[in-house]
Amino acid sequence: MRDISDAADLMATAREALLGELLPALPEDRRYVARMIANVMAIAAREHRLGFDAAQSEAARLRNLLDGIGRPVAPSADPLRADLAPLRAAVRDAIRAGTFDPPQRADALNAALSHTAADWVTISNPKVLRSEAATPNR
Amino acid sequence: MHGTLPDNAMETSAATAIERWLCTQMHTNDVRVTRYERMPGGAIQDNYTLDVEIANGPWRGPHAFVLRTDAPSSVAASLTRAQEFAVLRAAYAAGVAAPKPLFLCRQPDIIGREFFIMERLPGIAPGHRLTREAGLVPDAHALAHALGANLARIHAIRPPIAELDVLAPPAENPALGAVAEYRAYLDRLDDAYPALEWGLRWCERHATLPPAVVLVHRDYRTGNYLVHAGRLTGVLDWEFAAWGDPREDLGWFTARCWRFAGVDREGGGIAPLDPFLRGYESVAGWRISRADLDYWQLVAHIRWAVIALQQAQRHLGGGERSLELALTGRIVHELEYEVLQLIARSAA
């Protein structure tokens, strides 16, 4: 349905109006709040576009890790819901128990969690990933 | 009360009560509050600009103060105002650049909460400005050196000190103490955080004993000190101070999450790492190893993530709906990402 703006496009358009028309008219001490609102709108628009896939991918990676240590978690009854909470809790418990300490498992865990974190950072603050790429060293 | 600016009745009556209270503290019969207004910022503490005119007695003349009190809801881990006042006195007496603490009021009936009054130092604090506007820091290496030396002066304060009996006794291994504390907090949340858990597990397995137990500031970072005419005037926000491992403050100050616009400048976003560590070494006589600094930078990111979750919880719990607190919750993702990067780098 391209003739009706989707939620992400509505949000982006509203954000442009906030930054382009309202912000310049605000006194200096109120602009901080306006910038925070603009930031929230950008996050919400990105989450609308990318959030479903990020949650599904995270669930798949966590399932894969749990299968790898012989602790599978039963799949969610509703295929449209990623049901992350029990998966995250099961991985937490295995981490605390030291199950991921052996180097090979540690590497697999770190790689999977890094992918997931990068997916969520792409939604919450993508410039972190861009500056990371630009400055490989500390 | 002449020329007072507070525009709401509550602040006006507080200013009147402060005038009366200060008369006894300052041994005078004429204190006039000429300015009393809430300072912006401060998610945990409320700070007020307080200007007074004293007509007679030992404090005769005008004074620029800050009144510091608790915000309506605060983070459980922070000190009371009376404890913070004791820490600030010890630090000031040890020659640390910090606002001079002046009067502590433990009576809740003066302004409704405990508070203390300290001198108001000149300078600019916001990290995004100090790391972006080169004109504010004309000699970045000198500032980083001074910040390192000043931190070492805090770390020269060691137990036992009678006035600091108000602080909890130090953990035998502060790193393991921190791991247990952050796990206990995460256990109180509905959701689990595997990346933070993995970071905590890593810290648990690589923890070492502190070189010494010292007074640690625990929020010593860009954004929490004042710079005036390019020079350090004082370190603020002592509410998290405790006995602990000096390496914790070094990791916190240099962690990527506290570099603001200067992510590639490891010395707090101000300068490279070396001048900061040289300044520290010039007073402390020792220098942290790269491996230890990496370790404590990792701890720093985990700790900031836990605090961010606490702040988001204040918002989500409904006690204090706030856009700023809600957004703080969102930075957990980038902190998790950095924790995982640091683990990968140290394993390589």
What pLDDT, in 10s, does the model give residues A49-68?
999 999 999 999 999 999 99
In a domain, B216, yes or no: no
In a domain, A1, yes or no: no
Task: Give the per-residue pLDDT at B317.
Answer: 83
Q: Report the number of distinct structural domains present in chain B.
A: 3
Instruction: Name residues 238-267 of chain B within 8 A of A (Cβ).
Output: 256, 263-264, 266
Task: Give the per-residue pLDDT at B46.
Answer: 86
In a domain, A110, yes or no: yes
Taking a C-beta distance cutoff of 8 angstroms, is the pair B203, B299 a contact? yes
In a domain, B154, yes or no: yes
Taking a C-beta distance cutoff of 8 angstroms, is the pair B245, B217 a contact? no
In a domain, B280, yes or no: yes
Task: Give the per-residue pLDDT at B322.
Answer: 87
A16 token code pair: 């442009």
- Region A23-49 average pLDDT: 93
Q: Is the dihedral of CA A106, A120, B329, B37 positive or negative?
A: positive
If chain B, 348 residues long, is cut into consecutive pieces of 10 residues, what is the mean pLDDT of each piece?
A: 54 90 94 92 79 95 95 69 96 98 94 95 96 97 98 97 92 94 95 98 97 97 97 96 97 97 97 98 98 97 95 84 89 97 87
Do residues B13 and B49 both lie within one domain?
yes
Strand partners, B135: none
Task: Give the per-residue pLDDT at B186.
Answer: 97
Given a cut of 50, whether residue A136 has pLDDT beyond it is no
Q: Which residues contact B54 (CB under 8 A, 6 or more apart)?
A: B26, B28, B30, B31, B32, B60, B61, B62, B63
Do residues B134 and B281 both lie within one domain?
yes
Instruction: Name residues 20-39 of chain A within 8 A of B (Cβ).
Output: 29, 33, 36-37, 39
Task: Give the per-residue pLDDT at A78.
Answer: 76
Do residues B98 and B231 both lie within one domain?
no
Taking a C-beta distance cutoff of 8 angstroms, is the pair B261, B269 a contact? yes
Instruction: Name residues 21-50 of chain B within 8 A of A (Cβ).
Output: 40
> Smallest CA–CA separation between A3 and chain B, in Å?
33
In a domain, A2, yes or no: no
Count CB-CB contacts under 10 A for residue A7: 11
Domain with B185, as residue range(s), is: 174-208+290-348
Contact between A85 and B192 using a beta-carbon 8 Å cutoff: yes
**Is A64 touching B (CB cutoff 8 A)?**
no
Do residues B30 and B161 both lie within one domain?
no
Task: Give the per-residue pLDDT at A137.
Answer: 45
Given a cut of 80, whether residue A103 has pLDDT beyond it is yes
Task: Give the per-residue pLDDT at B116.
Answer: 97
Do residues B306 and B327 both lie within one domain?
yes
Among the residue ranges A5-9, A105-109, B134-138, B283-287, the one predicted with the least confidence is: A5-9
pTM of the predicted model as reported, rounded to 2 decimal places:
0.92
Alpha-helical (H) ranges within A69-125 are 84-96, 103-124
A103 token code pair: 């180097």
What are the CA-CA distances from residue A44 to residues A47, A119, A122 (Å)? Answer: 5, 14, 12
Taking a C-beta distance cutoff of 8 angstroms, is the pair A92, A71 a contact? no
B79 token code pair: 């000190």
Contact between A98 and B323 using a beta-carbon 8 Å cutoff: no
Q: Report the number of distinct structural domains present in chain A.
A: 1
Do residues B45 and B97 both lie within one domain?
yes
Do residues B93 and B201 both lie within one domain?
no
Task: Give the per-residue pLDDT at A76.
Answer: 76
Do residues B182 and B301 both lie within one domain?
yes
Do residues B280 and B312 both lie within one domain?
no
In a domain, A99, yes or no: yes
Task: Give the per-residue pLDDT at B42.
Answer: 58
Do residues B95 and B188 both lie within one domain?
no
Do residues B265 and B178 both lie within one domain?
no
Domain with A74, as residue range(s), is: 7-134
Do residues B14 and B86 both lie within one domain?
yes
> What residue type is B57 in one-letter code?
G
- ipTM for this model: 0.91
Higher pLDDT, A79 or B119: B119
